[in-house]
Amino acid sequence: MAQSFRDLKVWQKAIGLSVSVYEFTGEFPRPELYGLSSQMRRASVSVASNIAEGSARGTQRDFRQFVRLARGSNCELQTQIVIARQLGFGDQGKGEKLEALSQEIGKMLSGLSKYLTEEIRLSLVKSASR
């Protein structure tokens, strides 16, 4: 496992996702500043933030729970990207790239969650055999 959350590729990609979301939503109509734009920004920031917070909690169970929260925020963001694109907000090419990156991050988060689940299972087996 990585030494720090900063070493995790999924965290690095989530940071890139947040930056891209801010750029994408910067092109939204002004009335959306406190609407969809704000929600998308919060959801994207939540993905990377939950990965970081979970890794700092000290247990794999806690980390797994925060990875699951990050997955939820990522799915929320995917839904918001679809809505924004259907409304014609922002550059459609950027929206398409955002959607693809979010889906890639979703797969990475699922893999990390499965890994942590297996690690938890293995540690339970080891403690039961002592």
Parent domain of 71: 5-128
CA distance 92 to 72: 24
Q: Number of structural domains, the chain?
A: 1
More confident residue, 3 or 74: 74
Nearest-5° Cα angle at 59, 55 to 65: 65
The pLDDT, as a whole number, for residue 120 is 87
pTM equals: 0.91
83-127: per-residue pLDDT in tens?
999 999 999 999 999 999 999 999 999 999 999 999 888 888 777
User: At 128, is the pLDDT very low, low, confident or very high (cuts 50, 70, 90)?
Assistant: confident
Examine the pLDDT at 130 and tell me if it is beyond 80: no
Length of the chain: 130
The pLDDT, as a whole number, for residue 1 is 55
Domain CATH number, residue 88: 1.20.1440.60
9-57: per-residue pLDDT in tens?
999 999 999 999 999 999 999 988 889 999 999 999 999 999 999 999 9
The pLDDT, as a whole number, for residue 33 is 81
H or E, element range at 81: helix 60-86
Q: Where are the beta strands (DSSP E) in 14-104?
A: none
